[in-house]
Structure 1
């Protein structure tokens, strides 16, 4: 039986709670949108340097990597936290609420960053591992495309900072704080955006027979698009086609020339992703042609399916169970239809992206009343510290 004595425990981070809260609240008060994370990156780099890390700045934009080595081991591990905020006007009324109107940490990246800083401080103090740790603080996760993960990879992240495995986490409102959730294989969806422009023939509302009405065509198309998942996708697969935007016309007595739709399309496999695009194009073109209209279709590829490696996921689950008990671990957790650019890292290296509960009754992500649960700061930091110690030690 492996001896896990001496590894990080929850009690080892208890004394850091007040300091970590101060750091998170500072970041929360000063949210920065994707590609604008200069102040947050400077705070992170300054903390890491003070604790003895070899710090590299400006990777893929405002990305920061802190490297710490101990012993003579050759194994390496990467742990990632995201730093950017969202263009949302905060309505929490908290004393540390955003000071920048229209910008808010409504997804908890302030918490993710602070959790990893908590682990960084502990690991630098104890150094009970044998190998190399790369702590990756990533910008622009919320970008949707051309994201921070893509930019850091393009900037040579894994060539400059080799990682045998990479790990990341996200908070999860609706589940009790301190609860860990894992799922091997496809865990979070690919998310694509489809923009459709229907070009009809405008005219007088009293003479519709002389026009090609794009509003009628668009209305029918909305319903037709719902048949794709119901009748083209294997019932054992999961997919979503949502029409989130529909615009046409300005006044009641004019049939417009143009109607536009925007779709959010989500899937959990490359085959289903390709099928959805094909069916949307074929159905849209045929539907418009049947009414005498012309269409333009633009498909904007978003983040790919996030696929967790089985071995690394089971390892992380074991670490969580050791730390908080099996009763506070959910595995397997259901797949999530949201998307996450950590998927790009997992295309390059094996690893695991996990969830930590943010409160059973907590406001949902991307909500103006959302706030990261401070109870997770020490729990998450202890988890990352123990994971690194186990991965780079005899218990791996």
Structure 2
């Protein structure tokens, strides 16, 4: 490989079979959030064997693999998530999960394998000037109190300085090897709300002697529909979804209590605050109007994921060099899903992007999902080239 050029996809061709084996091993042995002990051991062993300085047990089973080349003091971070989901796999693959009720249904096995592929190639070629920190993170799937939060609290950026940080997620429905970039808000904040309505139960034949929590809850559900339509700027995006309504067990009994649970999503801190304020007001007012009481547990999940302009443009350029502009979508549409990479972007500039997992393939979090192995060498070549370009003398 000429010293004058950066990594190409073809440079990873010889590693394809090994990357397949790594990915299939990870898929076969999924571990849930904060249980990734064996996965972390497997990843650490690979990295140590390739000459990385590996630091373990950061924010749980998280680890950082550091490699320095040249004399520059510049640094860059690249992150992959490692945890699986509590889903019973139904793919029928010969490398399907051996742990019943657990599977890699979101592709974190692929994300980890891709970054390991880049790690191996970077260690072999060392055609960069500075220090790369490869971040293997636990517990992305928790929704709150996530691995990113715990790694940051454990001194991630103080111990492993990063001028910028980058991450990816596969995206079913988009052709494999196609990259998607968007500067600014790209993924939504996701909050959870649980409302417990306290009424007064009784006989269904004597409703006048009760305070029916089912009626109160129904009124709350309908009133919540006005928030997005009447309290949020039409040019902004927001979602308030009541996904669970539980009350009673018998048709002739008015229950004492009812429970609503909802998902709330937004793309700006201001809209997020508005949604919380209006939900609290509507729930309290509706309950009071019927003589009931309501308790609200509002759990703030991941914040809005906001990509920085310069780093997104840089990553997009790297992708266009690697696969051609015809395989790059920019701007990529914003998504109402959430991602704890947002916490890293609150601390450092960077970019989180999408990599197509194939048109017509099962969606994320499906029991039939599988990461597309076509992306292993493409993703590994991208991470290698990004590090080489970011830590090049020309970039400095």
Residue aligned with 1:140, SS: coil
| Alignment partners' CA distance in 2, 1:109 and 1:5 | 33
Quick one: structure 1 residues 329 and 207, their matched pair in 2 at CA, closer, same or farther if it must change by over 3 Å?
same
Alignment of 1:103-252 (within 5 A): 103-252=102-251
Aligned to 2:353: 354
The separation in 2 between residues aligned to 1:161 and 1:42, in whole angstroms, is 20
| CA-CA distance at 1:383 after TM superposition | 0.2
How many angstroms does 1:208 deviate by? 0.6
Structure 1, residues 217-271: CA drift from partner, whole Å, max 9, x if none?
A: 1112111111100111000000000001110001111000100000100001000
SS of the residue aligned with 1:264? strand
What secondary structure does 2:141 align onto? helix
Counterparts of 1:274-289 in structure 2, within 5 Å, are 274-289=273-288
Shift of 1:40: 0.5
In structure 1, how many angstroms separate the alpha carbons of the residues matched to 2:215 and 2:391? 62
TM, length-normalised to structure 2:
0.99
Structure 2 Cα separation of the partners of residues 112 and 395 of structure 1: 28
Residue 363 (structure 2) aligns with: 364
Q: Are the counterparts in 2 of residues 69 and 130 from structure 1 also a CA contact under 8 Å?
A: yes
Q: Could you report, residue by residue, the CA deviation over 1:127-181 in whole angstroms, capped at 9, with x for unpaired residues? A: 0000000000000000111110011001100000000000000000010010000
Unaligned runs of 5+ in 2: none
* Distance (whole Å) between structure 1 residues aligned to residue 44 and residue 73 of structure 2: 25
Mapping for residues 249-288 of structure 1, pairs under 5 Å: 249-288=248-287
> Helix, strand or coil: the match of 1:303?
coil
Q: Tell me the CA shift for residue 216 of structure 1.
A: 1.1
Aligned to 1:294: 293
Mapped partners of 1:149, 1:387: distance in 2? 22
Conserved? CA contact 1:4–1:395, under 8 Å: no
Q: What residue number does 1:380 align with? A: 379
Displacement of 1:395 after TM fit? 4.0
The whole-number CA distance in structure 2 between the counterparts of 1:224 and 1:362 is 38
Q: 1:334-392: CA deviations, max 9, x gaps? A: 11100000000000100000000001101110000000000000000000000000000
2:64 maps to what in 1? 65
Measure how far apart 1:4 and its partner are.
9.6
Shift of 1:5: 4.1
Q: Distance in 1 between matches of 2:304 and 2:314?
A: 21
Residues 90-128 of structure 1: per-residue CA shift (max 9 Å, x gap): 000000000000000000000000000000000000000
> Matches of 2:220 and 2:149 in 1, distance apart?
34
Which string of whole-angstrom CA distances, capped at 9 and with x for unpartnered residues, describes residues 48-105 of structure 1? 0000001111111100110000000111000000000000000000000000000000
Q: Per the alignment, do residues 258 and 285 of structure 1 end up closer, same or farther by CA in structure 2, a change over 3 Å counting?
A: same
Distance, in Å, in 1 between the alignment partners of 2:16 and 2:218 is: 54
Contact 1:221 1:287 (8 Å CA) reproduced: yes
Please report how far the alpha carbon of residue 6 of structure 1 lies from its aligned counterpart in structure 2 after TM superposition. Answer: 1.7
- Partner Cα distance (1:81, 1:223) in 2: 41
Deviations 1:168-197 (A, max 9, x none): 000000100100000000110000001101
Checking the alignment, whether the CA contact within 8 Å between 1:174 and 1:357 is kept in structure 2 is: yes
Distance 1:5 1:326 in 2: 22
Aligned residues: 394
- Aligned equivalent of 1:391: 390
- Confirm or deny that 1:49 pairs with 2:48: yes
Deviation, structure 1 residue 394: 3.1
Counterpart position of 1:9:
8
Cα RMSD (Å): 1.0
Taking structure 1 as the reference length, what is the TM-score of the superposition? 0.99
